[in-house]
Structure 1
Amino acid sequence: MVDGEWAGWGTIPGLVRAATERYADVEAVVDCGGRVRVSYAELGARVERAAAACLARGVRAGDRVAVWAPNSLDWTVAALGAVSAGAVLVPLNTRFKGTEAADVLRRSGARLLFVTGAFLGTSYVAALRRAAGEGRGEGQGEGQGEGSGPLAGLPGLRDVVVLSEDAPPGFLTWKDFLAGGEGVGEAEVRAVRVKGSDPSDIIYTSGTTGRPKGVVITHEQSLRAYETWSALAGLSRGDRYLIVNPFFHTFGYKAGILACLMRGATMIPQPVFDAETALANIAREAVTVLPGPPTLFQSLLDHPARRSHDLSSLRLVVTGAAVIPLRLVERLRQDLGVETVLTAYGLSEASGVVTMCRRGDAPQVIAATSGRPIPGVEVRLVTDSGATAPPGEPGEVHVRGFNVMRGYDADAAATAEVLDSEGWLHTGDIGVLDVDGNLRITDRLKDMYVVGGFNAYPAEIERLLALHPDVADVAVIGIPDPRLGEVGKAYVVPHPGTSPTADDLLSWARREMANYKVPRSVQFVDTLPRNASGKVVKGELRGGWAGL
């Protein structure tokens, strides 16, 4: 593939400046139910102001800056401002509990955090303060020094900016943070030296070990991947893009914010998915583009109020993360009149995109496969014996190309487990290629399952459930669910002398982990099936274990 426009942008700060100039009068972001509207010129000015404020607080090239907040204009400005100041962005999952967020902040070595004041009835600041207090004295992430920030348990975190008008003592409000950058000029911001080969972000994703690992991706990888994605999807100037995919996820940030910057599309962030709100947004804002998991579109199609909203503007839908029923593709085209429906496959370790269907593909291809490799990317399927699987035969999906991560942050051992000496990324997913090169994901070597578009990792959930005082042993598997695709089921061996109930255990789990991780059912057993090496044989659990 010859160099595309990504090479001209060079870096994400370069992209922001180019978008500001090229699309100055185009509406860039619509937020707060349409009450806040900013142009690309205004967005660029806000990002530059945030970058200046980062520099004023001592942020330097290569520092890690985290954002723990829902989709919003402020998230966009804070994140792009930090990256424009040369920082490496660390987005945090809004479904994290305080202990989960503190762990990522500690290990990433974040020196600045932007955090929402409250979201869905939860004070993120209070949760973080409790967790940071509990984490006092634990091991620090690489590069963290003996700082004296506002959270004793996170000494490397020098500043916390609350994205609201109020903040506790020791924390900064968004307004005060921005005011601090007024003495930093435009020339100083633009003098920040960032190269395309520098890390642009670290997206934390769990693996089979159950502990989140930081995927390191560079500026040029992100730009090239999502210029390609935008071209294949057909995103264009004037599109109005409802971004329901969370910004903390590769797809929300890069296929959302970065793609819109590339094409001059209007971003309409929605903080949390609600079908009624999405329908209203589509109708009010004449939304043309809506990516999301299959469950999102099923909810919209089946909503009783759907016919009372004008959805005729919607022209492009991109989905994935699960098997797509052919009927869903047909309904999107017939019931909603969507011109283009595409499916795709990706993972954070490959910049979020590996294969995509193409405009014009048959509905059967779109429903049954995740399309073909994007330009510049190779995919091969490898059998248990190490041979390349022929078309129609299953094998582990290996990926090689410009999009493959540089590695896991400060974790050479984990990196070596998935990246081989020839540059192939071993994804842990099992797939089948058809004769035309379309990939169909059929299973997972890893135990990960997908809950309504969110990846859930049994090892991580098991590790948390094992902290319950009545749990002696536990195994979690994904089981089919008609609404969410898959949900967790926990097999629990109680401690002798205890009699926990499923309700008690699930209530406890809801307090300790993100909601999508919480199993939907619990089955108590006397023992778990294990092999000779002591590992739980989850295939037996899925197949109806005789010991149940």
Structure 2
Amino acid sequence: MTWETIPQMVLSAADRFGSAEAVVDGDLRWSFVDLADRVRRAAGAFARAGVGKGDRVAVWAPNSAEWIVAAFGLVTAGGVLVPVNTRFKSEEAGDIIGRSGSKMVLVQQGFLGVEHGPGIDVPVIDLKSEFLTDADPFEVESAADDIADIIYTSGTTGRPKGVMMNHRQTLRLYAEWCDLADLREGDRYLIVNPFFHTFGYKAGLISSLIRGATILPVPVFDADRVLELVARERITMLPGPPTLYHSLLEAAGTHDLSSLRAAVTGAADIPVELIRRIREELPFTSIMTGYGLTEAGTATASRSGDTAEQIATTVGKPCDGVEIAVADDGEVLVRGYSVMQGYLDDPAATAEAIDAEGWLHTGDLGSIDDSGHLRIVGRKKDMFIVGGFNAYPAEIEGFLLEHPAVVQAAVIGVPDERLGQVGRAFVVTRTPVTEAELIEWSRDRMAGFKIPRSVRFLDALPLNATGKVQKDLLH
């Protein structure tokens, strides 16, 4: 890798890949030369608007070609990217825009019926306006250790915190990610993961430009739309959550999926049967699963040759230059070059997250097997103790999801006079099932201390803006 900064890498793609397709978004088709030109002009627009080196700018918009130009144009002008979750309401977005010190925010007016602006105290610019295109080309020299982006955590445990990463970290980690995920030059990469998230921005956009893959942004996940694009655009690379692959399996006989080659997924618990079916019933020749977090990017990944069981039940081995350990209390620790530079304006939270020896305390619980594979068993704060036994909600939820009536499940610990705590399950079902039936079904599948003692039926689980279950709202 010869680049010191993200702008160097992005702009060099014009020389490396020339007239090949870089971005396909609806009727829009740009080559790598086109994209580099647009990025330079966007940098000029930011400079003209008063954005200088180190200044922060928020992008609060769905996946699109313009998002790509705005993000890379900003860092080419020396600015720092602050992506904002598209599901946030104005007050939530305004909090992040304000605390990040962003000088302006770029939005897509009308997305999901929302007009952005009320409650925002900085200039609001529509991505689809001429702002990004109506300027002369511009470039600022940045350094490898300059902060490139501040991505906010999802906020399941309090207010989101701004994670600072520099250019060097991102380029090294996602160059390796390209190898691990089998991303190749000429691949056609349908990016379902949102750009405001580390996966969409770094494993998506940055990896595509490192390797020379065509980017096809998806603004809102819709299974039918994804299937149509896979067939029409001959998609080869399709990462996504397990639910995406369920949709592909259901559609295998009715849609042309023959172009698909590389899959990437991840979750606390993936059924082994799902991985087996992906391998046997879909055209994918490589399937990667991994573990990552905003504070360290991708920390572990499966390797070529891993079994279906290893891919499903573990999150692979550490990336190069990254160490993984498990503390005495079961918490997963991460150390290495990819760990964040800290939380923006929050030295106390930074010191709490990264100890004196450089270990990042992830808040996740896990174990490492004899072959060096990491398994995630749940969140530290979610664990509850039943009569002296540690119970991990993610594991129990995995069992419950095997019941044919259960679509979604969330488990929490509730007080119990005799055992201290016991499990309570909150489930969304597709067909009728009673509380007694689910509890009895659980008895044949898990140890007694893991069995939920009560079940609550919901129409939907409460989710935060990144789709994680808000367990503090379950009682």
TM range (shorter): 0.7 to 0.9
- Tell me, in whole angstroms, the C-alpha distance in 2 between the residues paired with 1:288 and 1:403: 28
- Tell me, in whole angstroms, the C-alpha distance in 2 between the residues paired with 1:243 and 1:196: 27
Mapping for residues 153-164 of structure 1, pairs under 5 Å: 154=121, 157=122, 159-164=123-128
- The residue aligned with 2:373 is 438
Q: Which deviates the most, 321-330 or 59-68?
A: 321-330
Classify 1:118/1:264 alpha carbon distance in 2 versus 1 (closer, same or farther; 3 Å): same
Q: Structure 2: where are the runs of 5+ without partners?
A: 384-392, 398-409, 412-423, 431-455
1:307 and 2:253 matched: yes
1:412 and 2:403 matched: no
- The residue aligned with 2:47 is 55
Letter in 1 for 2:75: V
Cα drift, residue 308 of structure 1: 2.1
Match of 1:292 among 224, 234, 240: 240
Q: Structure 1: where are the runs of 5+ without partners?
A: 133-153, 165-173, 385-394, 452-456, 459-476, 484-501, 524-540, 542-548
1:18 and 2:12 matched: yes
Match of 1:345 among 265, 288, 291: 291
Classify 1:520/1:197 alpha carbon distance in 2 versus 1 (closer, same or farther; 3 Å): closer
1:234 and 2:198 matched: no
Cα drift, residue 522 of structure 1: 7.7
- Tell me, in whole angstroms, the C-alpha distance in 2 between the residues paired with 1:81 and 1:518: 34
Match of 2:24 among 20, 30, 35: 30
SS of structure 2 residue aligned to 1:308? coil
Letter in 2 for 1:197: D
Letter in 1 for 2:305: G
Q: Is the 8 A contact 2:4 2:168 kept in 1?
A: yes
Match of 2:326 among 376, 381, 385: 381
Calculate the aligned-residue CA RMSD, in Å: 3.1
- Tell me, in whole angstroms, the C-alpha distance in 1 between the residues paired with 2:69 and 2:131: 15
Q: Is the 8 A contact 1:161 1:177 kept in 2?
A: no
SS of structure 2 residue aligned to 1:220? helix
Cα drift, residue 18 of structure 1: 1.3
Cα drift, residue 237 of structure 1: 0.6
Q: Is the 8 A contact 2:85 2:466 kept in 1?
A: no
- Tell me, in whole angstroms, the C-alpha distance in 1 between the residues paired with 2:86 and 2:305: 36
Q: TM-score, normalised by structure 1?
A: 0.71
- Tell me, in whole angstroms, the C-alpha distance in 1 between the residues paired with 2:172 and 2:87: 29
Letter in 2 for 1:435: D
Q: Deviations over 1:431-461 (max 9, x none)?
A: 011101000100111349999xxxxx99xxx
- Tell me, in whole angstroms, the C-alpha distance in 1 between the residues paired with 2:86 and 2:358: 33
Letter in 2 for 1:178: T
Mapping for residues 389-428 of structure 1, pairs under 5 Å: 395-428=330-363
- The residue aligned with 2:420 is none
Large movers: runs of 4+ above 6 Å: 448-451, 517-523
Cα drift, residue 177 of structure 1: 5.0
Q: Which deviates the most, 72-81 or 232-241?
A: 232-241
- Tell me, in whole angstroms, the C-alpha distance in 2 between the residues paired with 1:11 and 1:323: 36
Q: Is the 8 A contact 1:233 1:359 kept in 2?
A: no
Match of 1:269 among 217, 225, 228: 217
- The residue aligned with 1:389 is none
Letter in 2 for 1:26: A
Classify 1:42/1:403 alpha carbon distance in 2 versus 1 (closer, same or farther; 3 Å): same
Classify 1:272/1:478 alpha carbon distance in 2 versus 1 (closer, same or farther; 3 Å): farther
- The residue aligned with 1:201 is 149
1:178 and 2:133 matched: yes
Cα drift, residue 360 of structure 1: 1.8
Match of 1:84 among 59, 72, 76: 76
- The residue aligned with 1:141 is none
Classify 1:519/1:410 alpha carbon distance in 2 versus 1 (closer, same or farther; 3 Å): closer
- The residue aligned with 2:88 is 96
SS of structure 2 residue aligned to 1:416? helix
Classify 1:480/1:218 alpha carbon distance in 2 versus 1 (closer, same or farther; 3 Å): farther
Q: Is the 8 A contact 1:399 1:427 kept in 2?
A: yes
- Tell me, in whole angstroms, the C-alpha distance in 2 between the residues paired with 1:425 and 1:418: 6
Cα drift, residue 307 of structure 1: 1.9
Letter in 2 for 1:364: E
- Tell me, in whole angstroms, the C-alpha distance in 2 between the residues paired with 1:233 and 1:515: 23
- The residue aligned with 1:538 is none
- Tell me, in whole angstroms, the C-alpha distance in 2 between the residues paired with 1:84 and 1:232: 28
Classify 1:516/1:347 alpha carbon distance in 2 versus 1 (closer, same or farther; 3 Å): closer
- Tell me, in whole angstroms, the C-alpha distance in 1 between the residues paired with 2:107 and 2:425: 32
Q: Is the 8 A contact 2:18 2:32 kept in 1?
A: yes
- Tell me, in whole angstroms, the C-alpha distance in 2 between the residues paired with 1:161 and 1:243: 24
- The residue aligned with 1:123 is 114
SS of structure 2 residue aligned to 1:194? coil
Classify 1:482/1:229 alpha carbon distance in 2 versus 1 (closer, same or farther; 3 Å): farther
Q: Is the 8 A contact 2:186 2:212 kept in 1?
A: yes
1:367 and 2:312 matched: yes
Q: Deviations over 1:235-254 (max 9, x none)?
A: 11111100000000000000
SS of structure 1 residue aligned to 2:58? strand
- Tell me, in whole angstroms, the C-alpha distance in 1 between the residues paired with 2:215 and 2:28: 12
- The residue aligned with 2:273 is 327
Classify 1:256/1:340 alpha carbon distance in 2 versus 1 (closer, same or farther; 3 Å): same
Q: Is the 8 A contact 1:97 1:514 kept in 2?
A: no
- Residue identity over aligned pairs, in percent, reads 51
Classify 1:521/1:382 alpha carbon distance in 2 versus 1 (closer, same or farther; 3 Å): closer
Letter in 1 for 2:114: S
- Tell me, in whole angstroms, the C-alpha distance in 2 between the residues paired with 1:272 and 1:19: 27
SS of structure 1 residue aligned to 2:295? helix
1:105 and 2:97 matched: yes
- The residue aligned with 2:206 is 258
Cα drift, residue 323 of structure 1: 1.1
- Tell me, in whole angstroms, the C-alpha distance in 2 between the residues paired with 1:333 and 1:27: 29
- Tell me, in whole angstroms, the C-alpha distance in 2 between the residues paired with 1:515 and 1:236: 28
Cα drift, residue 320 of structure 1: 0.4
- Tell me, in whole angstroms, the C-alpha distance in 1 between the residues paired with 2:333 and 2:286: 28
Cα drift, residue 322 of structure 1: 2.8
Classify 1:442/1:67 alpha carbon distance in 2 versus 1 (closer, same or farther; 3 Å): same
Classify 1:177/1:81 alpha carbon distance in 2 versus 1 (closer, same or farther; 3 Å): closer
**Number of corresponding residues:** 419
- The residue aligned with 1:215 is 163
Q: Is the 8 A contact 1:506 1:518 kept in 2?
A: no
Cα drift, residue 514 of structure 1: 3.9
Cα drift, residue 478 of structure 1: 8.1
Q: Is the 8 A contact 2:268 2:378 kept in 1?
A: no
Letter in 2 for 1:345: Y
- The residue aligned with 1:535 is none
SS of structure 1 residue aligned to 2:284? coil
